[in-house]
């Protein structure tokens, strides 16, 4: 979750984190769901979204 917060430059409130499935021996896939923080909508949103997607 810390990596997601760093990419968004915002704190994630009320995250939902759960295991999805095993993808290989000793490797699992997880899902992190959350409402997009308002801090993410400030400034030049087009450039910010591109930087988060990388």
Listed by start position, the domains of the chain span: 2-47
- Which residue has better confidence, 8 or 51? 8
This model's pTM is above 0.85: no
Q: Which single residue is written with the structure tokens 């030049």?
A: 44
Region 23-39: mean pLDDT is 92
pLDDT reading at 1 higher than 90? no
E strands in the chain: 16-24, 27-33
pLDDT reading at 23 higher than 80? yes
Q: How far is residue 27's CA from residue 23's CA, in Å, rounded to a whole number?
A: 6
Report whether 20 contacts 31 (CB < 8 A).
yes
Q: How many CA atoms lie within 13 A of 21 on its CB side?
A: 2
């Amino acid at each position: 979750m810390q990596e997601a917060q760093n990419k968004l430059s915002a704190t994630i409130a009320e995250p939902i984190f759960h295991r999805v499935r095993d993808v290989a021996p000793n490797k699992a896939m997880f899902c992190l769901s959350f409402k997009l923080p308002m801090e993410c909508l400030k400034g030049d949103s087009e450039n910010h979204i591109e930087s988060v997607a990388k």
